[in-house]
């Protein structure tokens, strides 16, 4: 899309200052014209509403017991949700090409935040993951996910003809991906590392990196990491592996949360106990407002309700990937793909964790888990995907 094309969509002869401002914003790629993808927007809003409802149901007793206010979590989440919807609308109206110009700035800023969080005193359980801003805390790793998507989308779309070269597709882009991953690993934030690496790897593969360049070193690194964990060289990881293989053997330790989550899922049956009627939420299941909210969902709405929610995530992914395929340029395509894939990967990992399909890594469920930073960033990114969809409709005019 060129500036000349945008000029053809505007009334350049108008004397109205508001219209002139709009024209200037459009011509300088600061304002996105076109219609939003209704289906994608609908799935985002529906998942958000259901997530808020389930968070309120799951967190009331926990909030009353620990915060002396049963509305503690839901009020905060509603504030972030409202702010997030506003941000989503704003980002859906901003021409997504702006992020291409700022890709290196965003990436550098995310690295600075990841370094700062390691220097600051830990806020929770001796983990360096959060920065306290007074009114709220936030995780720099959430910014890092966004930064990696934007930078890789910009570099791959600009140099896609060089992606098959080992020096560029693997060495250069791989280094850019491993730097934030390494910093997040130092935070002992395994789930964040897996997500950032997985998103980056997806974009690199779709961008044209030869699979043999990834499978061979990936297999070596994966095998080495597994050997270190199972041998006990990495005690933190080995404990997670042991509790995954048999959570019932350590019900007083690392296996407790997983076991309680599985009991919550099983007790929901086909149709569930009913909204608000969970038994596990009465302080039996730890972190039920965060990483383990899905077992409460299963307990209250049952297998059928859980399948409906999973279907909504699948439909969101379908529309997101459709938007990516219909994007008017490669940057928009990779941008929409990366942000959509993040939601799908995170949701899949969360559900696999709580069902004990994979080891417990402490990963949140998009739109459902409590967390202001993640919700704001998630909705902002959904707005960017909508911006890409708007550009697609403009091109069809």
pLDDT in tens, 286-333: 888 888 999 999 999 999 999 999 999 999 999 999 999 999 999 999
> Which band of pLDDT confidence, cut at 50, 70 and 90, is reported for residue 5?
very low
pLDDT for 204 equals 93
Inform me whether the pLDDT recorded for 235 exceeds 60: no
Structure tokens at 290: 């965060």
Q: Quick one: average pLDDT of 360-378? A: 89
Q: Are 262 and 295 in contact (CB under 8 A)?
A: yes
DSSP letter for each residue of 46-83 = HHHHHHHHHHHHHHHHHHHHHHS-TTHHHHHHHHHHHH
The angle, 0 to 180 degrees and rounded to 10, between the axes of the packed helices 140-158 and 330-354 is: 140
pLDDT for 6 equals 47
Q: Torsions phi, psi of 128, nearest 5?
A: -95, 80
Higher pLDDT, 25 or 155: 155
Q: How far apart, in whole angstroms, are the C-alpha atoms of residue 139 and residue 98? A: 24
pLDDT in tens, 370-391: 988 889 999 999 999 999 999 8
DSSP 124: B
Higher pLDDT, 341 or 216: 341
Confidence (pTM):
0.87
What residue ranges do the domains of the chain occupy?
32-395
Inform me whether the pLDDT recorded for 25 exceeds 70: no
pLDDT for 396 equals 57
Choose the weakest-confidence range: 95-109, 130-144, 222-236.
Answer: 222-236
Average pLDDT, the chain: 85
Taking the CB of residue 332, how many other CB atoms lie within 10 A of it? 27
pLDDT for 1 equals 43
pLDDT for 78 equals 96
Inform me whether the pLDDT recorded for 362 exceeds 50: yes
Q: Are 320 and 343 in contact (CB under 8 A)?
A: yes
Candidates 358, 303, 293; CA nearest to 50 is 293
């Amino acid at each position: 899309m060129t500036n000349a094309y945008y000029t053809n969509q505007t009334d350049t002869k108008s004397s109205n200052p508001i219209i002139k401002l709009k024209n200037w914003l459009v011509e300088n790629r600061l304002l996105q014209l076109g219609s939003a993808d209704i289906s994608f927007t609908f799935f985002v809003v529906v998942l958000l509403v259901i997530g808020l409802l389930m968070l309120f149901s799951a967190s009331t007793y926990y909030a009353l017991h620990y915060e002396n206010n049963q509305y503690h979590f839901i009020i905060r989440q509603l504030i972030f949700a409202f702010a997030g919807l506003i941000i989503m609308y704003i980002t859906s109206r901003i021409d997504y090409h702006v992020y291409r110009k700022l890709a290196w700035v965003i990436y550098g800023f995310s690295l600075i935040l990841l370094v700062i969080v390691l220097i600051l005193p830990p806020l929770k359980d001796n983990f360096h993951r959060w920065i306290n801003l007074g009114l709220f805390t936030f995780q720099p790793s959430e910014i890092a996910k966004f930064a990696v998507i934007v930078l890789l989308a910009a570099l791959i779309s600009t140099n896609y003809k060089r992606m098959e070269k080992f020096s560029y597709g693997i060495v250069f882009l791989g280094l850019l991906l491993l730097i934030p991953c390494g910093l997040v690993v130092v935070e002992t934030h395994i789930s964040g590392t897996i997500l950032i690496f997985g998103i980056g790897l997806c974009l690199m593969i779709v961008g044209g990196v030869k699979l043999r360049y990834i499978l061979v070193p990936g297999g070596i690194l994966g095998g080495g990491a597994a050997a270190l964990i199972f041998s006990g060289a990495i005690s933190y990881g080995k404990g997670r592996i042991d509790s995954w293989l048999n959570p019932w053997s350590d019900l007083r330790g690392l296996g407790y949360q997983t076991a309680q989550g599985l009991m919550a899922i099983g007790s929901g049956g086909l149709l569930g106990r009913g909204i608000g009627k969970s038994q596990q939420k009465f302080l039996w299941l730890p972190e039920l407002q965060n990483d383990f909210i899905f077992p409460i969902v299963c307990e209250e709405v049952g297998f059928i309700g859980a399948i409906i929610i999973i279907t909504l995530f699948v439909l969101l992914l379908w529309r997101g990937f459709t938007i990516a395929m219909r994007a008017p340029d490669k940057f928009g395509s990779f941008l929409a793909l990366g942000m959509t894939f993040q939601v799908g990967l995170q949701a899949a990992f969360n559900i696999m964790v709580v069902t004990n399909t994979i080891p417990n890594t402490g990963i949140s469920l998009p739109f459902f888990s409590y967390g202001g930073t993640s919700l704001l960033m998630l909705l902002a990114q959904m707005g960017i995907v909508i911006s890409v969809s708007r550009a697609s409709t403009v091109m069809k005019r």
